[in-house]
Amino acid sequence: MNIAVLGTGHVGGALGCRWAAVGHSVFFGARDPAGAEVRAVLARAGGGARAGSCREAIAACDTVLLAIPWDQTHAVLERAESLDGKLLIDCINPLTPDLQDLTLGYKTSAAEQIAAWFPTARVVKAFNTLSAATMENPRYGDLAAHVFICGDDPSAKETVHQLARELGFEPIECGPLRLARQLEPLAMLYVYLAVFQGWGGDCAFRMLKR
């Protein structure tokens, strides 16, 4: 699969490098494709990855991971040649700069806003409740971290389920895209526990049932 990863920070770097390691062709999109951060990510990813502008990455791939700041998302996607039919995996959390609240939510979500801006794309919310450390290693003893996934396109969601399983996660189907209204606040709870309660990134959510 050809996967565009927009962003080369902790999240984009972790998921992009791991997808490259399992055999996908990964195209990192960045503001400065020749910058030190991008060079470091490409060195980690190996020969199955390349880098260019976000516009170039989107044009080359049918699946796009959004791992960029929320306030840049519309401008970056607006510059794409076309988003028609593309699968946009949204792992963005619209947090305030102090990480204490959401800039929108509860009656809508970042994922729904992206879908409204670009209605011909197929938006799936996923990976937003995980730390970069868990993205690098989803195993917690005998258990795997859960990836909560929601969206309105069943085939797009199945692709994301597959991509999550390939990295060792256990995907959880959460229903239509409007459930992102719950997943984004759940990520805020994760940030509170990890950052302000001192748990750090080596923790993850998991649903239990019997």
Domain spans of the chain?
A: 2-196
pLDDT in tens, 29-82: 999 999 999 999 999 998 879 999 999 999 999 999 999 999 999 999 999 999
pLDDT in tens, the chain (210 residues): 999 999 999 999 999 999 999 999 999 999 999 999 999 999 999 887 999 999 999 999 999 999 999 999 999 999 999 999 999 999 999 999 999 999 998 899 999 999 999 999 999 999 999 999 999 999 999 999 999 999 999 999 999 999 999 999 999 999 999 999 999 999 999 999 999 999 999 999 999 989
The rounded mean pLDDT for the chain is: 96
Reduced to 3 states (helix: H, G, I; strand: E, B; else coil), residue 115 is helix
One DSSP character per residue, 117-184 reads HSTTSEEEE-STT--HHHHH--EETTEE-EEEEEES-HHHHHHHHHHHHHTT-EEEE--SGGGHHHHH
Interacting residues of 111 by C-beta distance below 8 A, sequence separation 6+: 90, 123, 124, 125, 150, 151, 177, 180, 184
Torsion of CA 197, 200, 201, 202, to 10 degrees: -110
pLDDT at 166: 98
How far, in Å, are 46, 91, 129, 194 from residue 203 at the CA level?
A: 28, 17, 11, 8
pLDDT at 46: 86
pLDDT at 105: 83
Q: What is the CATH number of domain 2-196?
A: 3.40.50.720
Phi, psi (degrees; rounded to nearest 5) at 199: -70, -30
pTM above 0.85, yes or no: yes
